Structure formats: structure tokens, C-alpha cells
Structure 1
């Protein structure tokens, strides 16, 4: 009986707590008037005659309305350049409260005709757009790239607030092109017909990367031919050149092992008894490494000042490996693995053009990572 009493007590206490949460009473006590209105409205939509939710809604709505109107007056009286955005926000909250109450018939009996400030909201949006527009003009007059970026974002905010505000679209376009850095990427020159196809493929990979680059809208890459055709005057020139490369350096190493295995059946006597003995062999293992490597230099130069603004070097190495073996003596002295490698023959290495392409793969990865790192937040 005692346990049952405790259980009923905890259930009763839980219901009181849950009821307080669902009616918005707790939010009201904490001073979160908007949340209190929202919760009480939700409660009355499901339980139209809930007296506690009615009382909470009446009190919370009055306090919420007064709080937002106070904030609006304080914002209007401030010197904050963007004060109209604060005004706009509070009018939006007031109107949202009204919409919530209007969607709940039981709520309208508690708060008939909740206030809406449609014209005031429209005026505050217009004024907020004007403030952002004027801020953008100020940045644009500073006539430098970083300020042009700031101007672009201010005009973008203007357009979001008031899509057809004055000539904001044209100003946004002006700011964008004033903020853009045009980078012309010069092609890699490899003076060797043997590696022409591979170097062309490496160049195509770079061209594809710069053609698809979109991380920073204020950086545009152009190939040299494209820049010439479009008469682009670059801000920067990105040059790529191999300081050096070596293809097909061959190293062959021979390792000789003397092998011996005891207790191997080597025959039998006349009376059919097994004869055990020791077998021997000499195993020669050959390892061939063909190394190809290169060092790519990347330099970025300011077109106007001819000043070098960035330089990096990217190494790349590829080693092609082959191994085979031969033996002399008794093959029973060899393990299964050793015997297997003796059945392999020396294989032909890839052609030089393929080796060239392989050592450029790690170079390409380093290159695009560095270009991205440098320009992503440029």
C-alpha cells in the first residue's frame, strides 16, 4: 500500500510538470513570452477548454507584445546603422504571434483580434534595405578588392530584403567584377615528343580542375588560349614548369642464397628402406626498380606589378618494381614460395610515357590542394 501511494504521488507530480510545460507556464515564468504563447496556443488547439492554457496565453501575449514594442522603440532611437533589421525582426515576431492565435479558434476568445503590423513591417524592410544599400555604396567607393567583396555582400542583403530596390542588381554586378581576381594559368611546356601525350594528359587534368573550380566565387581561372580569345586582362598569372624530371632510372639488385634441407628422401635401399639425405641449391633473386621523378614549380605573379606573390615546388616519384629468380641444384631445397618466384620471368616495364604520367599523379594532388588552399578564401 505504501508503494502504491508513492507511485500515485509521482504520477500526479509528473502530470503537473507535464501540464505546466504543455500550457507554456514554465516558459512564462522564465520570461520567454514568445515560447509561452506558442505552447499555450498548441495546448488550446488540442484542448480548447484548458483553463490554465487560457490564462497563460492572455498573460504571455500581453507581455510578448509589450516586450517587442519596447525593443522596436529602443532600436529606432539607437544610432546603429542597421537598426531597421532589429525593428523588422520584432515586427515579424509580433505578426507571427498574431498568425498563431488566428489559427486557433479557442485562442481568439482569449485574445480577440491580435495586433498585426503589416505596413510597419514593410516600411522597416524598406529602410533596412536602404541601410544595406548605402553601406554597399560606401564600400564600393573605397575602390579596392576587399571592400568590393564587402559591397557585394551588402547589395546581396539589400536584394534579399527588397528585391527591386533602386539599381541594386546593377550595383551588385559592379561590386562582383570589382572583387573578382582573374587568374590566367599558363600551359606546361615539356620539350620532348616522347612525353607529349602524357604531359598533355597532365595538362588536361589541370584544365579540368580550374574549369570546375567554384569554391570561391571571387576567383576565376582562365586557360591561356581562353584568356586570349576573350581578351582577358589578368590580375595574376599562374605558371607551371618542371624544374627537372628523370624517367626510367633502372636499378637491378641480385641476392644469392645458399639453401640446404636435411632429412629429404633421396632414394631407397635394395630391401626398400628409405634413404634420407641433405639436398642443396643456390637461389638467385633479382629485384628491378625503375624510378621516375620530377619537381614541378608553381609561381603566381601579380600582372600589374610583376611581383611574385607565391611560389611552391611539388615533388613526385614513382617506382616500378619487378622481381624474379633462378636456381641451381636440387629444387627440393626450395620452399613453395621460393619455387614459385623461380617460375616468374622478367617482365617488360611500362613505356616511358606511362612512367612520366605516374610520377605526375602525386604532383597533381599536391598542386590542386595548394591552389585550393590559397584561393578558397582569397
Structure 2
């Protein structure tokens, strides 16, 4: 009984699926072009499907009429971008014709699908002309924002008509007019001794900015590159280590009294083990060398020389070492304690290395700060 009670549901489900594959549902929702595509696909696999044939006939007729109506309305419009609407609608009509022409059984339903090749090409060319003129006007406003919009227009022209006039040059001009040009000045550190380490930090930053791709409207230059190109920047990044301390050393000694019971301490004359308690005094030494610094970042507007944003970025690196010695019976020590007594005090890294180490967390913060600030341009 349960099986038979489910039969109507399965029949309903099959009907729904059939409607989906023939395009019936899309037709009922007014998605005429989608209905045509689905019906064509269905007729390719099932040439005698009556429902798909009916959907194709009705959907094609409605889609064609709807597109021609939109084209006529657009031609009478004063909208400067009306040719793009016309191009889009002719494109829809032509795509439907291509789909139907590629399906023999579909041609029995729609024997001569209309195609507007010349009209489409004319609308595409006129659309390119309009966008080119808009781009020209925007570019002449000489602002970054208008140059961005000009670039968008020129890129659309190239997409539609790749060889249109001097479009490649126009895209290049608009791009560089829209780019925020930022010069990265050398890091200032008030110490000749640490200049080599700060140069390493500088190189890391320059490597990052040279490969910056997060915002195509922002370009970074070193001061040397800017001078060579005679570049007039929009902004300048100034970096200075305002404060740093390298090699602050701290040594701690911790003394522990150790005792372990039930340890074999000897043997009797008849070679039986004698157990007792062993003791030792363990001295553990912990040495830490702390290095830290503060990088001041100030981004200034080139024309006004005013700071537009600034931040202090801290960084710390702590090098640690530990060793131990003991007095008494080593059997009172566990394995880790004994291993620690085998170690000797390690020679710490040189100051220049410690400087580089505390700049690593600063570098990470700087990159995050840079990405956050320049994402808005």
C-alpha cells in the first residue's frame, strides 16, 4: 500500500523534471531565451519531443518579439548608451539563431531563424564610438577618479573592437593618469653601526612594493627610481626607527634541592643491592637577550607636504638560552635535568642579527598597514 501511495508523487516529480528539461518552466516565468536553450538541448537528445517543440516555437517567437521591441524603443531613446542595449538584443537574437541552426529537429519547428549580423556589428561599432568619446572627455578632466572611469570606458571599447583607433595608447594614458604614484624613501636609523641591518629591512620592503598587486591603481617607486623617471609623486612614505634597544641581557639562576628515594647505593657482601636516598643541588641558568624597536611610518601628500596618515609599529625579539650544573649525586636528577647539565652557555647572535630579528614583526605589520590604507584608492 505504501508503494502505491507514492506513485502519484513520483509521476508529479517526473512531470516537473520534464518541464525543467524542455524549458517549460523558464517559458512560464518569462525567461524566453533560457526556454529556447533548454528546448534546443532537449530536442537534440530527443528530436520527437512534442513538449520541447511546443516550447521552442512559442519561446522563440516571444523572445524575438521582445528583443525587437526593446531595440525599437532604444533607437527612439536619447540615452547616450542606447547602442549597447541594441547590441545586446541583437546578440541575443543571433545566439538563438545559432543554437537552432545547430539542431536539425529544431529547424523543423523554426525553419528560418532570423539573424541580424550587420545590425549587430553596426551597434557594436557605434557602442565603441560612444565609449571612446566618453573616455576622451573624462580623461581631459585631469583627475584620478575621472581617469579611472575613462579607463573603464576604453577597456570596453577594446573588448568590443580590439583595433579601434589608438585604443591601446588611450588605455595606457588613462591607466597612468588614474594610478596613485607613491615614493618609498630610505629608512632612517640614527646609527651607522646598524645601517647594514636597516638596509636589509629596507630591501624587504622594496621587494614587497615592487611586487604589489593588491590594487592596480597604486604604484610604488623607490626614491632612486622616481628620480630616474623624473616622477612627480602623489604621496611619499617616510620611515624612521624612532627608538630601538639591542641586546638587553637578563640572567636568572634557579637553585633546586633534589632528592630521590629507593636508589641503589651499594651492595652487600653477598652481592645484594642496598637502597637509600640520594641528593643533589641543581642550579639552572636562564639567559635572555631582548631587542626591540619602534618604526615610525608617515605618509605625506606631495603637493601639500601634509601627513595624511601615520602610525608607530613596534617589534620585539627575545633570544633565550639555558644550561645547568649540579653538586651531589647525579642520580637525583631526572633525564631532562641531566641533559641540561651537559649543555654549556651558547654564544648569542651578534647585534646586527638581533636588529634584523626584531624588524621581522615590524615588517609584517607594515605590510598589513600598507594593504589596508591603499585598498581605498
What is the CA-CA distance between 1:10 and the residue it aligns to? 5.9
**1:86 counterpart residue number:** 85
In the alignment, structure 1 residue 205 sits paired with structure 2 residue 228? no
Unaligned runs of 5+ in 2: none
Q: Which residue of 2 aligns with 1:182?
A: 181
- In the other structure, the counterpart of 1:163 is 162
Partner of 1:218: 217
> What is the root-mean-square deviation in Å for CA atoms of aligned residues?
2.3
Cα distance, 1:94 vs structure 2: 0.7
- Structure 1 range deviating more: 25-34 or 99-108: 25-34
Q: 1:274 deviation in Å? A: 4.3
Report deviation, 1:34: 1.4
Describe how 1:131-170 pairs up with structure 2 within 5 A.
131-170=130-169
Residue in 1 aligned with 2:51? Answer: 52
Shift of 1:152: 1.5
TM-fit CA distance, 1:261 = 2.2
How far residue 286 of structure 1 moved from its aligned partner, in angstroms, is 0.3
**Residues 323 and 24 of structure 1: is their aligned pair in 2 closer, same or farther, counting only changes over 3 Å?**
same
Q: Note the C-alpha offset of 1:120.
A: 1.9
Shift of 1:276: 3.2
What's the secondary structure of 2:276's corresponding residue?
strand
The alignment status of 1:284 with 2:283, answered yes or no, reads: yes
Q: CA separation of 1:142/1:338 partners in 2, compared to 1, >3 Å: closer, same or farther? A: same
Aligned residues: 377
Paired position in structure 1 for 2:118: 119
CA 1:290–1:23 in 2, change beyond 3 Å: closer, same or farther? same
Moved more, 340-349 or 73-82: 73-82
Partner of 1:242: 241
- Bigger mean CA deviation after superposition, 340-349 or 210-219: 210-219
CA deviations 1:275-305 (Å, max 9, x no partner) are 4332221111000001111111111111211
Report the equivalent of 1:100.
99
Q: 1:270 to 1:157 in 2, by over 3 A?
A: same
Residue equivalent to 2:65: 66
Q: Contact 1:240 / 1:298 at 8 angstroms: preserved in 2?
A: yes
State which drifts further: 197-206 or 349-358: 197-206
Distance 1:250 1:77 in 2: 83
Report if aligned partners of 1:267, 1:276 keep a CA contact under 8 Å in 2.
yes
Which segment is superposed worse, 304-313 or 25-34?
25-34
Deviation at 1:5, TM superposition (A): 5.8
Q: Distance in 1 between matches of 2:310 and 2:65?
A: 61
Contact kept? 1:194, 1:352, Cα under 8 Å: no
Q: CA deviation at 1:74?
A: 3.1
Using structure 2 for the length normalisation, give the TM-score. 0.91
Instruction: Determine helix, strand or coil for the equivalent of 1:109.
Output: helix
Runs of 4+ in structure 1 displaced over 6 angstroms? none
Q: Using the alignment, how far apart are the partners of 1:104 and 1:75 within structure 2?
A: 32
1:100 Cα offset (Å): 0.8
Say if 1:216 and 1:375, in contact at 8 Å, map to a contact too: yes
Distance 1:278 1:15, change over 3 A: closer
For 2:2 and 2:360, locate their aligned partners in 1 and report how far apart those are by CA, in whole Å: 74
TM-score (norm 1): 0.91
In structure 2, what is the Cα distance between the partners aligned to 1:127 and 1:225? 46
Answer whether contact 1:294 1:317 (CA < 8 A) is retained: yes
Change (3 A) 1:181 1:30: closer
| Shift in alpha-carbon separation, 1:218–1:24, aligned structure 2, 3 A | closer
State the secondary structure of the residue aligned to 2:237: strand
Q: Compare 330-339 and 259-268 and name the one that shifted more.
A: 259-268
Distance 2:50 2:90 in 1: 29
